[in-house]
Each structure stands twice: as C-alpha cells, then as structure tokens.
Structure 1
Amino acid sequence: MATREAVDLRGLVDRRLDELLESEMGRLAFLAEEDRETLRRHLVEFVRTGGKRLRPAFVYWGHRAAGGSPADQDAVLAAGCAVELLHASALILDDVMDESATRRGHPTAHVALAERHRRSGWWGDPARYGESVATLLGMLAFTWADAALLSGDGAAEALQVFTQLRVEIIAGQYLDLAYAARGVAGVEAAARVSIYKSGKYTVERPLHLGHAIAAGDPAIKEVLSAYALPLGEAFQLRDDVLGVFGDPGHTGKPAGTDLRQGKRTYLTAETRERAGGGTLLDEVRDEADVAAARELIVATGALDAVERRITALVADAVQALDDDRVPQDARQALVDLAAIATSRTS
C-alpha cells in the first residue's frame, strides 16, 4: 500500500500517538523524573519507534470500506491509536511470558530493566524486578489504549468491538500458554491459537472498529470478516515461519526462538504429523538442535505446505473483496495490505 494516502495515514497516526502519549505522561507528573524517564524509554519510545502500523491501517480502510464519512477521521485515528497501544501492551507482556531476550533488535523491556537493577546494585532479584516493572508497563499501555479510544468522537459505537478484541487476544494468549504446558500440539489447536492470539486482533477486529465508527451496513461487516479471517491466519502463519527461518537482522529476534521455547505453532504441528509423532522438535536447546529442526521441517515438506496454505488463504481473502458494495479504493488498499501482511520479513 505504497500510495500517498497510505504514507499520510502513517503520519497522521504517528502524530496522534505522540499527542496521546504526551497527554498520558502528563497524568504521571507525580512521579520523579528518574521514574518518568523509565516510562519514556521502555514504553513511550517503544510505541513511537516500532511497528508497521498495520492495525490502524485496517481500522482506516474498514471505515472506508463501510462508506464512512471523512468527518469521522478523529474517531478513526483514535481507534487506530487504541489498537496500536494494545499491540504494544501485548508485545511487552508476551516477551515476559516467553522469556524473550530481544525485540526489534533491542533488549526486551524486562531484560533491560533487570540489567539496570543489576548495574545499580538495588535490593532484590533483578530478574523479578524487570519482569514486574515490564508487566506494569504492559498494563499501563493497556490503560492508555482505553484513553485513546475515548479521546475520539463517537467512541461508544466502537467500544463493544474493542472490548471483544481485548477478550480474544487475552484468551488467545492463554490458549498459547495452556496448550504448550499440556503438550497439545495438533494443527487444529495451533490454528485456534493463531486465530485468537493474532489473527482477529490484527485484521478482523480493527476492520470492525472502522466499520462500527462508520455505522456501516451489516452485510459489509460480513464481507470484511470473510476477508479478515483467512488473512489473519495467513499473517500468523508467516509469523510462525519467520520465528524459525527469519533473519535476525530483519526480525529483531534470535533465529529459532520459537523452537527453543517449544511453541506449538501450525508449522511445528504440521511437521510432527508428517514425521509420525514425537520428534527432535521436543528437545531444541542449542544452535545445532535449531539447525536439525529446520532440516526436519524442510525435509518433511511442512514448510512447503505452510507456504502453500499462506498463498491459498491470501487468495481466499482477496476473493472475498470481489463485492461491488466495497468502494474501489478500499478494495485495492485491502488487497495491498494483504500482501504487506503476509510477505513481510519481520
């Protein structure tokens, strides 16, 4: 979506985010400057400098697809900022739960905070401190997401959708943890996690937010869901592939992280089924194990199968937009977004 409008949209979202972040930091004037600087460094700058702003783009084009008025721009930008802040919250908390060391090429918040504790010689356990403060940062971003949504006109219409979005992402993360702990590893379970942990909150619900602000036709909402559900799954499948085969220089995370963490992804589930059950995927500890696991994934044909599924899902998503009720500019932008979301390298 390399149109002038897309570039302008990114700028509009970034400016609105800056305004919201400054306003919310103003509520924290009672903190000492040292503590405010901690929030700026590990939360405000994380939101400002990272991410592709995919979710705000889906809010915007969901609104346009539903025939929304330009007069709604304030509410659309507010909703876009809300999903971006919720995304930041999810990433920070996910890094704590996954014990991730890096994000976007830098130490994760809990790791950086633990190192500061260690260097400063403070009381208590550095790791515990880092995880606790990072959890609070995630909760703060979650709260700021509400503030962002409520800062726009007509927020009441979008609140129900936003609430559903939050319920689904939390439940999806729970399923991810629960399935890993219980050893649930089938492709059906992996697909369920993909849909709720990532797919719905990345594509479908942001589109529905835009649709709600436009007070759109329910029939268009169905079209948007028919596009969003396969695309959301394809988005997560690409994430699964990058988690195993991605270039750390692009992903910002060590290669093979998902394998070391024993993630129950569609890719690993497909590999297990093709390999006939338990495999070396269950015992990945070092670089040699990662390399062996990659070879197995390729040799079984699981990687090719997932790539074919991504292609088929994107085709289904694009086909769903073949509806005369969807404005041409919105249709083309959503087609472009489908490509951006599933061909990315990070």
Structure 2
Amino acid sequence: MPSALGRVLTEAATAQRDVGDQETCEKLLARVDRRIEELLSAETARWSEVDARVAVPVGAVAELVSAGGKRLRPLFCVTGYLAAGGGSGDGTEDTVVDAAAAVELLHAFALIHDDIMDNSPSRRGVPTVHAKYTDVHALRGWAGESRRYGEGVAMLAGDLALAYANRLAGTLTGAAAEVWHELVAEMIVGQQLDIALAAEVKPDPRLARWVAVCKSGRYTIHRPLALGAAIAGRPGLDAVFEAYGVAAGEAFQLRDDLLDAFGESAATGKPTGLDLDEHKMTLLIALAAAKDPQVARLVDDSRHSDWNPAELRAALVASGVRADVEEQIDALVADAYGALADAPLPAGWRLRLEELADMVAYRDR
C-alpha cells in the first residue's frame, strides 16, 4: 500500500476512534447525571414519608445539582478512566459512573459549605442554600435567628451531600480508594487554610498557591483523573496526571480569581468581588500585593471596619497584575501540555486533555 494512502487511512481510523471515544465519554457522563438524580430522588421519597421537613436538606442538594454547573470533576474522572483504557469490556463502567457521581456530590458538599463561609448570596444564578432558607425562616416568622436557621439547613445539606458521595465511593478498593480518601482530605484542609489566610489577612503567594493546588489543581483535575485511571487498572499514570493536573488546576484557579475580581455576574452566575469583600487571600491578591505597595497597603487596611473594597479593586486594575496573571496562565497551560508530551496515552486522549486545559484556563464563567 502506498505510504500516502496508508497515512490517510490511519488518520481516518484515528479520527473515527476519537469520535467513538468522545461518544463513550458523553454516554458515561449522562449516566453520571442519571445516577445522581436517581439517588437524590429516592432519598427525597424515602425521607418525605417521615415528614416533608426531613427531606429539606436532600431537596437542597438536588436543587443545587440540577441548577447546572460545569461538571468538571466527573468529566476529568471519566476522561482519566477512558484515557487509561477503561471501558473495554472490563466490567468497570458502573464503578467509574459511581465514582464520577461521588466526585460531583463531593463538589456539592464543598460549594454549600463554601457559600456559608464566603457569605455568598447566590450560586449558579439562584440563591445559595443558606440564603434561601434564611429568607424562608424570616418570611414565615419562625422563632429564633433566621440566619442561624438558614446556615443550619445548609450545613446539614452539605453533610448529606458528603454522606452520599462516600456511599457512592464505597465500592472503591485499592489504589482507587486511596485516591478518593486523599481527594476528600485535601479539599477540606485546603479550605481550612483558605479561611485562615482570610482571617489573618495574610497575602502570602506560597501559601495562596498551596490553597490553589489543593482546591483546584488536585481536587478538580489531578485526583479525578487519577481516580478514573486507578479504576481502569492503571494507577501508574498518577505522576503524569499530577504534573498535568497541578498546572492546569492552578491556571483554573487563577482564571477563577480574575473572574471574581474583574468579571461580570451575568456571565459567571454568581456575585463578583466576593473574594475582596470577604478578605480572601487568593493567589491573585497575593501576587498583586507582592508586586504593588499600594495593593499591599490596601489589603492591610482591610483589617479595619471602614475599609473600601472598591478602592482595592481599583488598585488591582492599576497594578497591572491582570496582564501578569494572564501570562502566568499561558505558562501553566504550556506546562500542562508539556506533561502530556511523552505520556503513555493514546494520541487522541493527549489532544483531548490539551483541549480541556484550554477550556478550564480560558473560560468566561
């Protein structure tokens, strides 16, 4: 066969296989959504038989999940699984569907609690759980403090989401179980450092980056990829996925910081400027404070009750940190690409992972 014709046929076969891989990925992700819906629907029915009030936290989780979201963590979990050769009649598809659903419910737990800690009024274009039930309490004139009631409902809803996540992850064994437990712990301890730095008003780039790596690099990308690969029987891919995931995840977090500081609520689906209002020592703030004395002074002034978030936001714009961070995002995406260059993965999946790095780093919401 002439070499040119052989190359054309090989490329056509590769393209056809890539299309099939993406179709398989989409089908598995659709099953993940159905798995979550079925679980929450069954739990709502179960607890509603006791009393409608008992099912309120379950309904709160279901409302958050059904409101949309990027589903990044299930996407990376399923991608890691398929890129590692999973789904080839090895009987592990149900396991990865449950694991990816668990990762999304873990994310629901994190968001519900994070919204309480950040005092956020909306998420995905609708009131946050604690805000909604604070209003319910106030409108119905119930006894006690409305805010405490709303936050109590939200805490319990988050706890239930974590319980359901652990239930779905309960069949994981070996390397996959180890990845799951590490993922859960990292996310929680990353959140602890996040609130500690905010309370202390400490713009430390090294620590802020550690938070970004825990809460985005590992939790959003590295660990879900590694979880999928472990289910597929290839835990040895962890080093590749760590290098890729930490770089792409840090880019993801920096984009999140930029969207909060400079984005529009209509695009992001949540209020912007909350990181500044709530004294979050994000990587963006830490980098800007290290670069610009005016930003550093205003960050320090935020300890006082009469500080002005708008003034700090204006100083961030004037500092030029936005352009610096865009350059850093570009460099991180290049690092993510580099981690894949010699990875023992099919070419189509290396390309797909490059596309995903671009997607998380250059998104507008």
Q: Same fold (TM over 0.5)?
A: yes
Within 5 Å, which residues of 2 pair with 1:16-165?
16-36=35-55, 38-70=56-88, 71-150=91-170, 155=173, 157-165=175-183
Query: Are the aligned partners of 1:56 and 1:83 in contact in 2 as well (CA < 8 Å)?
Result: yes
Query: Are the aligned partners of 2:123 and 2:269 in contact in 1 as well (CA < 8 Å)?
Result: yes
Over 3 Å counting, the alpha-carbon distance change for 1:198 and 1:106 in structure 2 is same
The percent of aligned pairs where both chains have the same amino acid is: 42
Within 5 Å, which residues of 2 pair with 1:256-275?
256-275=273-292
Structure with more relative contact order (C-alpha pairs < 8 Å, separation 6 or more): 1
Query: Are the aligned partners of 1:14 and 1:48 in contact in 2 as well (CA < 8 Å)?
Result: no
Alpha-carbon distance in 2 for matches of 1:121, 1:141: 28
Aligned residue in 2 for 1:245: 262
1:9-64 deviation per Cα after TM superposition (whole angstroms, max 9, x unaligned): 4322211221222233354255312442x235421121123211111111111112
Which has the larger displacement, 223-232 or 135-144?
A: 223-232
Partner of residue 242 from structure 2, selected from 220, 225, 237: 225
Alpha-carbon distance in 1 for matches of 2:300, 2:43: 44
Letter aligned with residue 264 of structure 1: M
Partner of residue 353 from structure 2, selected from 302, 315, 334: 334
Aligned residue in 2 for 1:209: 227
Alpha-carbon distance in 2 for matches of 1:258, 1:214: 38
Letter aligned with residue 339 of structure 2: A
5+ residue gaps in structure 2? 1-17
Aligned residue in 2 for 1:343: 362
Normalising by structure 1, we get a TM-score of 0.91
Partner of residue 235 from structure 1, selected from 246, 252, 259: 252
Letter aligned with residue 361 of structure 2: T
Over 3 Å counting, the alpha-carbon distance change for 1:23 and 1:158 in structure 2 is farther
TM-superposed CA distance for 1:217, in Å, is 5.2
Alpha-carbon distance in 1 for matches of 2:46, 2:202: 44
Query: Are the aligned partners of 1:17 and 1:48 in contact in 2 as well (CA < 8 Å)?
Result: no
Query: Are the aligned partners of 2:134 and 2:150 in contact in 1 as well (CA < 8 Å)?
Result: yes
Which has the larger displacement, 14-23 or 80-89?
A: 14-23
Alpha-carbon distance in 2 for matches of 1:255, 1:142: 27
Over 3 Å counting, the alpha-carbon distance change for 1:232 and 1:105 in structure 2 is same
* Matched residue SS, 2:341: coil
Letter aligned with residue 36 of structure 2: L
Alpha-carbon distance in 2 for matches of 1:212, 1:290: 45
Residue 305 of structure 1 pairs with residue 324 of structure 2: yes
TM-superposed CA distance for 1:203, in Å, is 0.5
Over 3 Å counting, the alpha-carbon distance change for 1:102 and 1:241 in structure 2 is same
Query: Are the aligned partners of 2:58 and 2:160 in contact in 1 as well (CA < 8 Å)?
Result: no
Over 3 Å counting, the alpha-carbon distance change for 1:217 and 1:267 in structure 2 is closer
Alpha-carbon distance in 2 for matches of 1:156, 1:119: 50
For the aligned residue pairs, the C-alpha RMSD in angstroms reads 2.3
Aligned residue in 1 for 2:214: 196
1:100-156 deviation per Cα after TM superposition (whole angstroms, max 9, x unaligned): 111111111101101101111111111011111100100000000011223x6x555
Alpha-carbon distance in 2 for matches of 1:213, 1:107: 36
Aligned residue in 2 for 1:11: 30
5+ residue gaps in structure 1? none
Which has the larger displacement, 5-14 or 107-116?
A: 5-14
TM-superposed CA distance for 1:98, in Å, is 1.2
Query: Are the aligned partners of 1:234 and 1:313 in contact in 2 as well (CA < 8 Å)?
Result: yes
Residue 167 of structure 1 pairs with residue 167 of structure 2: no
Task: Show structure 1 runs of 4+ deviating over 6 A.
Answer: none
Structure 1 or 2, whichever has the larger Rg, is 2
Normalising by structure 2, we get a TM-score of 0.87
Alpha-carbon distance in 2 for matches of 1:180, 1:110: 21
* Matched residue SS, 1:28: helix
* Matched residue SS, 2:315: helix
Query: Are the aligned partners of 2:98 and 2:168 in contact in 1 as well (CA < 8 Å)?
Result: yes
Aligned residue in 2 for 1:321: 340
Alignment length (residue pairs): 341
